[in-house]
Amino acid sequence: MDPDEDFRAYVAHRSPALLRTGYLLTGDAAAAEDLVQSALAKTWRHWRRVAAMGNPDAYVRRVMLNERRSWWRRTGAREQLVGVPPERPGPDEAVAHADRDRVWRAMSRMPPRMRAVLVLRYWDDLSEAEIADVLGCSTGTVKSQASRRLRRLADLLEPDRAGAARGDQGGRR
């Protein structure tokens, strides 16, 4: 198969999953599209080598993570962190959406690399070995990081659960 056609087929088949990963890494649909586009542009330049490796998803995810880190380094100092993220526009009436938003708010309070471990493990369903390859660390590091991050996520979500049980809005007393 022609390498350009092979790349087009890969992009057509994998774009939804890559966009999902991009959204989970950035928290914004437009930024996710930019991230995926940038990663695919960089991947296309090396497509023959990437395709020959046999796992282009791992390569593209690594490029996405590197790009995200780069963006964060360039813009991180200009972003202002707030205690409670602003509400998203439009009503969010479904309980499932509210739960998803709570989890995302908690995840967005984690540094990018910590968030990446959880995204790759639980949203992209990669094995520890695949995550270790993408992040450039050992499998043991991935296991311990995932375990710690899940505990951290539970800790971040706990005030929300307690608040919901009491019927107040922010889990504050």
The low-confidence residues of the chain, meaning pLDDT below 70, are 1, 75-83, 85-95, 159-173
Predicted model pTM: 0.53
Mark whether 55 and 121 lie in a shared domain. no
CATH code where residue 135 lies: 1.10.10.10
Mark whether 72 and 105 lie in a shared domain. no
Q: At what angle do helices 3-26 and 56-75 cross, to 10 degrees?
A: 50
**Residue 98 sits in which domain range?**
92-173
Residue (of 68, 10, 69) closest to 40 by Cα position? 10
Residue-level pLDDT at 33? 94
Work out how many domains the chain is built from and give that number. 2
Q: What is the DSSP string of 79-90?
A: ----SSPPPPSS
CA–centroid distance for 135 within its chain: 13
Residue (of 42, 13, 36) closest to 24 by Cα position? 36
Residue-level pLDDT at 2? 84
CA distance 44 to 46: 5
Residue-level pLDDT at 165? 47
